[in-house]
Copies of this chain bind each other. A is one copy, B any other.
Amino acid sequence: MTSAGASLAPGRRRIGIDVGGTKCLGVVLDEHGAVIDEQRRDTPKGPDAIIDTLVELAGSLGQADSVGVGVPGLVARNGVLRAAPNLVDINDFEVGALLFARLGIDVQVDNDATCAAVAEWKLGAARGATECVMVTLGTGVGGGIVAGGQLIRGANGFTGEIGHMVVDPDGPPCPCGRRGCWERYASGSGLGRLAREAAEGKRLQRVVALAGGDAEQVRGEHVQAAAREGDAEALQVIDDFGRWVALGLANLTNVLDPALFVLGGGLAASSDLYLGPIQSWFSRLLYAPHLRPHPALVFAQLGTRAGAVGAALLADVH
């Protein structure tokens, strides 16, 4: 286990910016990885406006040796954002080259879940790990992989699209065009869907009441709220959700044999509700559990800053 400071290149002041669907968060890290400044901007529409915002935000954050940018979509290894379903008018957006032309310093771009993985690996819950998988449980499911002591990026830079592992080919349709992708179950939207299915036939009454009496309006937060009140049916939905999360973790264990999983994303904020069911199902679904130490399941430590902090660290891992 190396210390945080020791794993970073010395003497550098790093800017990291996480471009979200509605907000851009920029941070400045000192040479030890501490956040010494933080600013937000609204995410504008269209590539030109995004570049202008990123340039202004970086300038406002001051001098730096490098700028890293995390974006929500498929990022090629040359810094081109190929597609981003949650941004407007994005298609082969050359974020890296355009920013470099304006800023004149080292610019690195990667997927936001990959950035979160880098942050947790270098400064958070997976510090010092040589084999770990970051899983972001949010509206969808994303991920980042460290194997053999390095960040795995893949032939095109697209590793870690773990939310689109098909876990049931007859499952619900996914916007990606296939059926039964893991994120149809193991995400915030998956939790809502599991609850709406469970609410059929006058069941799940407390959850439906919290959704204003309309079963079609049930969302993940209503299940969470009812579960926190101790509602047995809501807890059953949480257990079912935990089973689906664990199923994907078990699949990833079979592929990658990590020492630990870091669970992040929006659902990590309610980790007290989920960890028990996920742990319990993971133990039951793990292949050859008597022959190996269970991979550890830990929750992310860097919270909503993980993407920006990881973006700032991209120059250290690329």
Report which A residues bind B (CB closer than 8 A). Answer: 74, 82-83, 130-131, 143, 145, 147-148, 150-170, 176, 178, 247, 250-252, 254-259, 285, 287-288, 291-293, 295
Contact = CB atoms under 8 A, between A and B. Distances in A.
A166 B288 contact: no
B156 A293 contact: yes
Contacts of A160: 255
B156 A148 contact: no
A172 to B, nearest CB: 14
Contacts of A167: 166-169
A250 to B, nearest CB: 7
A257 B148 contact: no
Given A130-B155, A164-B287, 11 more contacts: A74-B288, A143-B255, A154-B258, A155-B258, A155-B259, A156-B257, A158-B257, A165-B251, A166-B167, A166-B285, A168-B168
The complex is assembled from copies of this chain, and their number is: 2
A155 B257 contact: yes
A178 B257 contact: no
Contacts of A150: 148, 150
Nearest to A157: B257
Contacts of A169: 167-168, 247
B155 A255 contact: no
A287 B178 contact: yes
9 contacts: A153-B257, A155-B258, A158-B257, A161-B255, A166-B167, A168-B170, A169-B247, A176-B288, A178-B287
A74 B292 CA distance: 10
Contacts of A153: 148, 257
A187 to B, nearest CB: 15
A252 B147 CA distance: 15
Contact of A256 (B74, B131, B152, B170): B152
A165 B255 contact: yes
Nearest to A132: B155
Contacts of A254: 161-165
B74 A154 contact: no
Given A178-B285, A247-B169, A287-B161, A156 B292 contact: yes
A150 B151 CA distance: 12
A74 B291 contact: yes
A257 B155 CA distance: 6
B158 A292 contact: yes
A145 B178 contact: no
A251 B168 CA distance: 12
A295 B155 contact: yes
Identify which of A151, A154, A288 gathers the most chain B CB atoms within 10 Å of its CB: A154
Contacts of A82: 288, 291-292
Contacts of A251: 165-166, 251
Contacts of A295: 155
A154 B292 CA distance: 12
Contacts of A131: 154-155
Contact of A152 (B148, B154, B155): B148
